[in-house]
Amino acid sequence: MSYLIYSLEDDKNISRIINVSLTHQGYEVKSFENGKSFLDAFYSQKPDLILLDMMLPDIDGRDILKIIRDDSDNENIGIIIISAKSMALDKVDALDLGADDYISKPFDILELTSRVNVQFRHKEKLENKNELKYKQFRLLPSSKEVFIDNEQIKFTKKEFDIFYLLVKNHGQTVSREQLINVIWGENKDLETRTIDMHIKSIRNKLNDKDSKIIVSYYGVGYCFNL
């Protein structure tokens, strides 16, 4: 698997060294010099890991960190802070806000590469540990990926969560209320037809035209019945 890394660093020389070094390691690296260009790209395509400088020309790195971690859909994205702020209080603050690691400038590029590799080794261990297999289906909770006979099917995060719950309970009917509570949380003001729309999209992606993979039970819920 080729991992995508976003490097947010306003120093062009440091940015180039990071990009060249990690690209040489086989990673796909996209570099950004300011917070706005980073966020525009982030909302278009989310990376597997972010290397985040805390002192940027337009947006404080701390604010970007909060934006990312305030959305639970981003919990599987790794974040390594790279900053000239080297006080213990700065490190503790960033880690408390949800950063996974902190590297102070100036840094050794070999150390950075090693820490990036550690992040992805940890990610792969989680995926292997929580991987769900059923017949030709393979689901990876950490990366929200679905494979059918080793061919990846592109699901949104919500679609993955719904499908994962159905596959995990294969042969059993899961009610709309259960899906809402598990996926969106209890007391969530959400119409049940929202679930129906997600199910329709999942069926389309599975080419389940006759609803034989995901069976509907009127007034009850849905069942993964393969």
Closest residue by Cα to residue 5 from 19, 179, 13: 19
Residue 49 pairs with which residues in a beta bridge?
A: 5, 78
On the 0-12 / 13-18 / 19+ scale of CB atoms within 10 A, 171 is exposed
Q: Is the pLDDT of residue 191 over 80?
A: no
pLDDT of residue 196: 84
Model confidence pLDDT, tens digit, residues 91-112: 999 999 999 999 999 999 999 9
Nearest-5° Cα angle at 216, 148 to 162? 50
Q: Please state the pTM of the whole predicted model.
A: 0.64
Helix (H/G/I), strand (E/B), else coil: 48: coil
Q: What is the pLDDT of residues 45-91, one digit of tens each?
A: 999 999 999 999 999 999 999 999 998 888 889 999 999 988 889 89
Q: How far is Cα 20 from Cα 110, in angstroms, rounded to an integer?
A: 12
From the CB of residue 139, how many other CB atoms can be counted at a distance below 10 Å? Answer: 22
What is the pLDDT, as a whole number, of residue 72?
A: 82
89-96: long-range pairs with CB below 8 Å, 24+: 90/54, 93/62, 94/54, 94/62, 94/65
Longest dimension (CA), the chain: 62
Dist. CA 138–CA 146, nearest whole Å? 6
Burial of 219: CB neighbours in 10 Å, binned 0-12, 13-18, 19+: exposed
Q: What is the mean pLDDT of residues 22-32?
A: 95
Amino acid at 41: A
Give, in degrees to the nearest 5, the angle at Cα 190 between 186 and 193.
Answer: 125
SS3 for 175? strand
CB 34 within 8 A of CB 57: yes
At 81, list the tokens: 């802070």
